[in-house]
Amino acid sequence: MARKDISFSAEELDQFLADDSTLIVTTLGSDGHPHTAPMWFFTDDGKIVFRSFTKSQKIVNLSRDPRITVLLERGSAYVELQAVMIQGTARLIDGSDEPTYLLEAYRRLAARYPMVGPEPVDLDPEALEQAFGRFAPKNTAVIVEPQKVISWDHTKLGGAY
């Protein structure tokens, strides 16, 4: 007997990605070993986007080899486990070339996560520039171009293994 399909529908995946969880990002180091780091993210046109300082190891790795895997998961008990893993390539947007894009990334992240205080906040252009303007040129945005999406939702199992 085939196992019940427990993957996310397109709508369920969009809802899952709307959660303010932390993304686990894996890149490949120069020696071939995986480099994994937690990152805050947002979605743009259905694609995962995050930012990091251009000199960070993950950006250095992606500049050399654009292959990337990201994972978002939640749940503690087996019957609660939900996750999506996206394998793809990274499209890099350098903040020294496109600081406006990086400022928009900062704005979207600050509206989703507590980056400038105890709660997320949608910053007006002046506050955004004051908080992050000096950092934007030193950052790179990563857009994950998906090649394979794998998801699982154990809540669809109805308590069965």
Question: What is the tens place of the pLDDT at every residue in 32-73?
Answer: 999 999 999 999 999 999 999 999 999 999 999 999 999 999
d(CA 122, CA 101): 16
- Provide the residue count of the chain: 161
pLDDT value of position 3: 60
Main-chain dihedrals φ then ψ at residue 89, nearest 5 degrees: -120, 150
Q: How confident is the prediction along the chain (161 residues), in pLDDT tens digits per residue?
A: 346 689 998 999 999 999 879 999 999 999 999 999 999 999 999 999 999 999 999 999 999 999 999 999 999 998 999 999 999 999 999 999 999 999 999 999 999 999 999 999 999 999 999 999 999 999 999 999 999 999 999 988 877 76
100: closest CA among 63, 127, 125? Answer: 125
What domains can you pick out in the chain, each with its CATH number? Answer: 10-156 (2.30.110.10)
What's the predicted TM-score (pTM) here? 0.93
Burial of 55 (0-12, 13-18, 19+ CB in 10 A): exposed
pLDDT value of position 157: 86
